[in-house]
Each structure stands twice: as C-alpha cells, then as structure tokens.
Amino acid sequence: MTGVEGNVEEGESSGADRKVGDRRSRAAMIEVEDLTVAYPLGTDDDYVVALHEVNLGIDEGEFVTILGPSGCGKTTLLNTIAGLVAPTMGEVRLDGKLVGGPGPDRSVVFQEYALLPWRTVWNNVRFGLEMQKGRKEGADQRIQEAIDLVDLTGFEKVYPRQLSGGMKQRVGLARALVAEPRILLMDEPFGAVDALTREVMRDELERIILATGKTVVFVTHSVDEAILLGDRVVVMTTRPGRIRQIESISLDRPRYGYDARGTKEFIEIREHIWELLSVDAKKHARATPEGD
C-alpha cells in the first residue's frame, strides 16, 4: 500500500467490514447503516441487488466522493440519502432521524442537467425555491446571490438552449444552492461536459464549497476527480455495490491554486485507488466474460 496506511487507523474499512462509519466515537451527521437496496425486475422474485450492506458515516462539512464503476450502485446510494429510493434493508439517518423522503436540508444536482427548457436561467434557479414550502422572503436576493456564486451574472434572462453544457450545470448548481440546503448530493454532475470545462467546474465547485461550508456527497467514476475533490474517497466494488475501502485525502486546500496532481501524495493515492479498482474489475471480468 502506498502512503495511505494511516487511514485504516482512522476508522476506515474494507468491504468485508461492517459498520464502517460506526467505528467513530460519535454519530456522524449522515449515517448509512447496513444499507441494502434491491430493485424488483417486474417478474416474480427477480431483482437486482444494487447495494449490499453498505455502512458509511459522513460528518457535517465533509466533502465525500463516491467512486466506482458504472452500475455499482453509486446513484442508488445517493438517491437513498436523498430520500428518493427506500432501503430494502438497513437505514439512512440524518442527525439521528430516519430519512423517509426528500427534505429541504438536501438538494440534488443531477448528471443530466434537468433544467426546464421554457424557463430562463433566473426562473430555473427560482424553481429551487418553489420546491420549498414557506421561506419566500428575500427570494429575489437569494436567486441573484446563487446566480452570482456560480458566475452566471448577466445570463439571468437567457434560456437553457442558449447555454453551453458547463453553463447549464452551473444553473443546476445554483438551483440546488438557492434552497440553502445543508447537504449537496451531486451525481456525476460534470459527466456530460467536455474535459476542459470539467476542470474549470471542479475548481469552481471547490471554491463554492469552501465559501459556503456545505456537506457534499459527490458521485463520480473519475479517479482524479474523486481525489481532487474529496476529503475522503469511498471506493466501491462492482455490483452488488459494497464499500471496498475509504481513503482519506490530505492534499492541501484549496486544491485549484496549485498542481495537486503533480504532488507525491496525489500520485501515490491515485496508484493505490487504481489498484483497488482494477483488482475488482479483473475479478468481475472473469466472472462475466461476456461483459456487462
């Protein structure tokens, strides 16, 4: 193992261990306990196990990235925390209370921008407030602040079709932020933008999160993105998704002011995470030679 030995002592875990988050002395803000999610396939007794006995604790203010191959259950994990998918077994708690559905404390940023094409940037961001009950005072100011924060000032009257992919995702982010959630749940938010824009968006996101102090759960299948953004990287196995290992990332923040990818720590952790992922991928390829 390269440069990450300390993590194990910090309460990290391999997939075989149960209750990853629970080894901490105090309860985490978000507690995922023995979470199993199986989707029925419509026919009798036929189902897909998307997640199997996942345990994870996330602290307030933490930026946690969830990394794993396509189909390993990342979206399922995020949606269960969002309250959009119900656990088949186990539970998710927020501040010790069972998550039973979506709430104003959590906002989701989706991969496909999910903007309303007939609405301007301003009114798409406004939609984030309309989803909330009450709290309409100062709405205009909050909308403007969210638009300014994601650097879309001047584009308020523009329609989504007039925007680039990166700009659309900024609108998605502003729409999530305007509701002032404590937790941002982001599902491969930069998956659909080009590589250069993705770099810029990642830096912007770190800037915004450092400025707002939000707790973030960020799903990605990019190893570099997971390391560059995360305080911890949760490495998942192929389906059914389990947590293979959790790695703490101690690269200095902000990470956009210097070439973090050139540092020894980055190179070592990257190599280690690739190893974790590739062992699993090879096993999976042998088990299902025809592919997935």
Ligand X SMILES: Nc1ncnc2c1ncn2[C@@H]1O[C@H](COP(=O)(O)OP(=O)(O)O)[C@@H](O)[C@H]1O
User: Which whole-number Å values give the CA distances from 229 to 27, 39, 120, 165, in the listed order?
Assistant: 24, 30, 30, 20
Please choose, from the candidates 49, 48, 47, 57, the residue with its C-alpha nearest in 3D space to the C-alpha of residue 17: 57
Distance between CA atoms of residues 181 and 193, nearest Å: 25
Stretch that binds Mg ion, among 71-79, 118-126, 132-140, 145-153 (CB under 5 A): 71-79
Is 82:45 a contact under the CB 8 Å cutoff? no
Contact call for residue 65 and Mg ion (CB under 5 A): no
To ligand X, the closest distance from the beta carbon of 73 in angstroms equals 4
**Burial group, residue 69, by CB count within 10 angstroms (0-12, 13-18, 19+):** middle
∠ CA 152-155-157, rounded to 5°: 140
Closer CB to Mg ion, 147 or 185, in the complex: 185
| Residue 39 binding result from Mg ion, ligand X, none, given CB thresholds of 5 to 8 Å by partner type | ligand X
Determine the length of the chain. Answer: 292
| Residue 50 binding result from ligand X, Mg ion, none, given CB thresholds of 5 to 8 Å by partner type | ligand X
The amino acid at residue 237 is T
Contact call for residue 75 and Mg ion (CB under 5 A): yes
To Mg ion, the closest distance from the beta carbon of 75 in angstroms equals 3
Distance between CA atoms of residues 135 and 132, nearest Å: 8
To ligand X, the closest distance from the beta carbon of 35 in angstroms equals 12
| Residue 215 binding result from ligand X, Mg ion, none, given CB thresholds of 5 to 8 Å by partner type | none
Contact call for residue 124 and Mg ion (CB under 5 A): no
Structure tokens at 220: 């990605």
| Residue 70 binding result from Mg ion, ligand X, none, given CB thresholds of 5 to 8 Å by partner type | ligand X
Residue nearest to Mg ion (CB): 75
Distance between CA atoms of residues 167 and 165, nearest Å: 5
Closer CB to Mg ion, 75 or 238, in the complex: 75
| Residue 220 binding result from Mg ion, ligand X, none, given CB thresholds of 5 to 8 Å by partner type | none
To ligand X, the closest distance from the beta carbon of 178 in angstroms equals 26
To ligand X, the closest distance from the beta carbon of 72 in angstroms equals 4
Q: Which residues bind ligand X (CB under 6 A)?
A: 39, 48, 50, 68, 70-76, 239
In the 8-state DSSP scheme, what is residue 128? Answer: H
To ligand X, the closest distance from the beta carbon of 1 in angstroms equals 25
| Residue 250 binding result from Mg ion, ligand X, none, given CB thresholds of 5 to 8 Å by partner type | none
Q: Is 92 helix (H, G, I), strand (E, B) or coil?
A: strand
To ligand X, the closest distance from the beta carbon of 221 in angstroms equals 8
Q: Kindly report whether the peptide bond that precedes residue 102 is cis, defined as omega within 30 degrees of 0.
A: no
| Residue 71 binding result from ligand X, Mg ion, none, given CB thresholds of 5 to 8 Å by partner type | ligand X
Closer CB to Mg ion, 13 or 75, in the complex: 75
Which residues lie below 8 Å from residue 148, measured CB to CB, with a gap of 6+? none
**Secondary structure element (H or E) that encloses residue 222, with its range:** none
Chain residues binding Mg ion by CB under 5 A are: 75
